[in-house]
């Protein structure tokens, strides 16, 4: 079975991070591998604390999975520190699709990447990415520009490609308006996909989207198709949450929910 590997932080609440990624990989039918970078004490409401693993432990996990599995894609999420960003950029094998979700601050407002590490992300990891998946504040932090329109999203995407990424999906969830437009920017141009804006907040949707993208790429789907499939997967998970809790409900194609009763 083809595997996908998430390099990210643990969310004790199971809604984001490693846990959301594993549920997503399982739902899409790839074997989930994990390289844990940090442990967070977190629920649907808040991140109460976070503890980084030593970079050596991150490097050892990457080596262990690479020595034994057929890995179809990597996905990075919470990396925390400059040291871990650099270690991941150095130790990732060449030639395997890489999705970089440049996680910086949680929906609940907790910093998940040191401010000083943003530059290292741009300098060392983004140039290795097949696709980078910033939300609007993350795209603003990576480019230094304000994003107020769809044209600005496309421009930010192009600037992130100038940093060395092959493609970028700028996620429009933090924008204004009734719907949400996400924009893929690659060498060939842009693709916009729009959908509903749900009238409730969940966390983990960015993790779930990037993990779904990695899972579809691992299964050999071309990027534009993987973008559409991942968008529809996360839309389904947000719809299934239906305002009952602050977490996504990650649903497999057969319709079984992987999330238990939890949250508020």
Ligand X SMILES: Cc1ncc(COP(=O)(O)O)c(N)n1
Binding footprint of ligand X on the chain (CB under 6 A): 8-9, 11, 16-17, 40, 42, 77-78, 103, 106-107, 112, 203-207
Question: Do 57 and 205 contact (CB within 8 A), yes or no?
Answer: no
Question: Least distance from C-beta 75 to ligand X, angstroms?
Answer: 11
Q: Residue 106: phi, psi to the nearest 5? A: -70, 160
String of b and e for 181-195 (b: at least 16 CB within 10 Å)?
bbbbbbeeebbebeb
Residue 155 or residue 235: which is nearer to ligand X going by CB?
235
SS3 content of the chain, % helix, strand, coil (to 5): 40, 25, 35
Which of residues 143 and 205 has its CB atom nearest to ligand X in the complex? Answer: 205
Smallest separation, CB 190 to ligand X (Å)? 24
| Residue (17 or 72) nearer to ligand X, CB | 17
Least distance in angstroms from the C-beta of 155 to ligand X: 23
Structure tokens at 196: 């509903």
Shortest distance, CB of residue 208 to ligand X, whole angstroms?
A: 9
Residue 110 CB, nearest approach to ligand X (Å): 7
Which residue lies nearer to ligand X by CB, 87 or 205? 205
Measured from the CB atom, is 24 or 107 closer to ligand X?
107
**Residue facing ligand X at closest CB distance:** 17
At residue 162's C-alpha, the angle toward residues 159 and 164, to 5°, is: 130
Q: Does residue 70 sit in helix, strand or coil?
A: coil
């Amino acid at each position: 079975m083809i595997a996908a590997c998430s390099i990210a932080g643990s969310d004790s609440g199971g809604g984001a991070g490693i846990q959301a990624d594993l549920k997503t990989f399982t739902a899409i039918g790839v074997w989930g591998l994990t390289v844990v970078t940090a442990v967070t004490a977190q629920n649907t409401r808040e991140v109460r604390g976070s503890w980084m693993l030593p970079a050596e432990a991150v490097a050892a996990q990457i080596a262990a999975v690479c020595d034994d599995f057929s890995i179809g894609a990597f996905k990075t999420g919470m990396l925390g520190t400059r040291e871990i960003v650099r270690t991941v950029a150095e130790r990732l094998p060449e030639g395997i699709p890489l999705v970089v979700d440049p996680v910086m601050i949680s929906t609940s407002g907790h910093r998940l990447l040191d401010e000083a590490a943003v530059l290292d992300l741009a300098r060392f990891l983004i140039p290795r990415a097949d696709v980078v998946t910033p939300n609007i504040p993350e795209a603003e932090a990576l480019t230094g520009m304000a994003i107020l329109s769809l044209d600005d999203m496309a421009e930010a995407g192009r600037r992130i490609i100038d940093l060395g990424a092959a493609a970028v999906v700028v996620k429009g969830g933090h924008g204004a308006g009734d719907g949400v437009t996400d924009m893929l920017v690659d060498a060939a141009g842009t693709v916009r996909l729009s959908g509903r804006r749900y009238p409730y907040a969940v966390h983990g949707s960015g993790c779930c989207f990037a993990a779904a993208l990695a899972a579809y790429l691992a299964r050999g789907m071309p990027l534009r198709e993987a973008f559409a499939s991942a968008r529809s997967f996360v839309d389904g998970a947000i719809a299934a949450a239906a305002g009952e809790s602050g977490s996504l409900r990650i649903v497999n194609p057969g319709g079984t929910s992987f999330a238990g009763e939890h949250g508020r």
